[in-house]
Structures are given as C-alpha cells and as structure tokens.
C-alpha cells in the first residue's frame, strides 16, 4: 500500500503546485503581451464602456444584427446549445430566427441569409459576423438611416478584418465597432 499511496500523494501535490501556481502565472505573464494586457479591447463612447471581444445584442433595425447567442449574450458564462443539426427544437429555433430576419429584411431571399445570422457560435458570445452577413443587411440599414447604400457598403469595407496572415480564418466584422461607426456618421 505504501508503494502506491505515497507516490500518488506526491504526484497530487506536484500537480496542485504546478497547475494552481506555475501554470497560472505563466498564462498571466503571456497575457500581458496581448492587447490591453489580455483584458480585451475596450471602447468608450458617449460615457458608455463596451468590450469588443464579447458579443452584444443588436435587434433594432437601424443597427447591424449580431450573431445569435445560445447564452443570451451573458458574458458570465459561455456555451453552445449542444443541440445537433437534426434536433427538432434546434431546427425550430433556427427557423424562427430566419422568419424574424425576413420580417425585418423583406427584400432578402431566404437562400441569401448567411448561416452566421441564424445559428449561434460555440461560445454563444461571438462578437463578429461575416462580410456576407453584413452585406445582406445593407438595404435595411440604408433605408432606416436614410443613407445611400454605397455609404453603408463603404463602412462595411472599412471595418472588415482580414484573416490572420491572410491564411487563418475568414473575413470578419466586429458588429459593435461597425454599429458605433454608424452612430458616428451623423
């Protein structure tokens, strides 16, 4: 018994010290080299503070819609719905999102709606949408804000982030930054 018990206790103590202390401090040290010391990008506008790395809910017609959230945009905990693509509840939820989108964007065909406007991300807090998801909303935004579609399209192009090193990921647009830029136009 002694031959198994003492090595197990020693390993437990070593793991506790490593993972609770050394590993945690190493990750904290690495985070100091990230933008804003790993706390995310913060924008202050009109005496309000926004975190650009956390998805926000935008449902008013004068703003670009965000990606749906499986956690109600609650940053206290992230998570997906864990429902498979054949789950009837999930399919009903996606269909309801499609129907809502079409009510607010009647000039868009159902086949033109990008998936990121009707499906939640794995974390439920994705702050970005695809360039296609932004472009499909241009007519609504321009009409609601009494702007030219070209101006809205130009704003989208200015806020489109390219893939990392031109290789990793896809083009994306931070919805919060885009909507704040829209508000700054007038």
Mean pLDDT, residues 118-122? 85
Mean pLDDT, residues 3-21? 92
Residue 74's domain spans which residues? 54-185
pLDDT digits (tens, 9 = 90+) for 141-186: 999 999 999 999 999 999 998 887 878 888 899 999 999 999 888 6
Residue 10 in any domain: the answer is no
Residue 40 in any domain: the answer is no
Q: Give the helix/strand (H/E) hosting 99.
A: helix 88-104
> Can you say whether the dihedral through the CA atoms of 99, 104, 107, 112 is positive or negative?
negative
Rg over CA atoms, the chain:
22
Q: Which of 51-60, 125-134, 147-156 has the lowest mean pLDDT?
A: 51-60
pLDDT of residue 56: 85
Mean pLDDT, residues 126-153? 92
Neighbours of 73 (CB within 10 A): 17
Residue 130 in any domain: the answer is yes
| Res. 43 pLDDT band, cuts 50 70 90 | confident
- Beta 128-129 vs 172-174: how paired, if at all? antiparallel
The burial class, CB within 10 Å (0-12 / 13-18 / 19+), for 141 is buried
Residue 134 in any domain: the answer is yes
Contacts of 31 (CB under 8 A, 6+ apart): 37, 38
Site of tokens 């269909």: 95
The answer to whether residue 53 scores a pLDDT higher than 90 is no
In this prediction, what percent of the chain has a pLDDT beyond 90? 51
Residue 123 in any domain: the answer is yes
Residue 22 in any domain: the answer is no
The answer to whether residue 26 scores a pLDDT higher than 90 is yes
| Res. 33 pLDDT band, cuts 50 70 90 | confident
Neighbours of 95 (CB within 10 A): 11
Residue 127 in any domain: the answer is yes
Q: Which residues pair with 45 in a beta bridge?
A: 48
Q: Which residues pair with 161 in a beta bridge?
A: 172
| Res. 73 pLDDT band, cuts 50 70 90 | confident
Q: Give the helix/strand (H/E) hosting 134.
A: helix 131-135
pLDDT of residue 186: 65
Residue 19 in any domain: the answer is no
Total number of domains in the chain:
1
pTM for this prediction: 0.77
Site of tokens 């970005």: 128
pLDDT of residue 80: 74
End-to-end CA distance of the chain: 76
| Res. 102 pLDDT band, cuts 50 70 90 | very high
């Amino acid at each position: 018994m002694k031959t198994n018990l003492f090595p197990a206790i020693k390993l437990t103590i070593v793991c506790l010290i490593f993972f609770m202390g050394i590993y945690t401090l190493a990750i904290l040290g690495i985070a100091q080299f990230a933008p804003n010391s790993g706390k995310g990008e913060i924008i202050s506008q009109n005496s309000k503070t926004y975190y650009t790395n956390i998805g926000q809910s935008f449902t008013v017609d004068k703003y670009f819609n965000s990606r749906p959230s499986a956690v109600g945009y609650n940053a206290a905990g992230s998570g997906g719905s864990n429902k498979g693509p054949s789950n009837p509840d999930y399919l009903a939820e996606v269909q309801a999102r499609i129907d809502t989108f079409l009510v607010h964007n009647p000039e868009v065909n159902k086949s033109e709606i990008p998936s990121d406007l009707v499906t939640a991300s794995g974390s439920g807090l994705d702050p970005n949408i695809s360039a296609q998801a932004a472009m499909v909303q241009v007519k609504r935004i321009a009409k609601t804000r009494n702007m030219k579609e070209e101006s809205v399209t130009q704003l989208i192009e200015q806020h489109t982030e390219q893939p990392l090193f031109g290789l990793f990921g896809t083009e994306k647009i931070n919805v919060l930054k885009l909507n704040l830029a829209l508000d700054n136009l007038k």
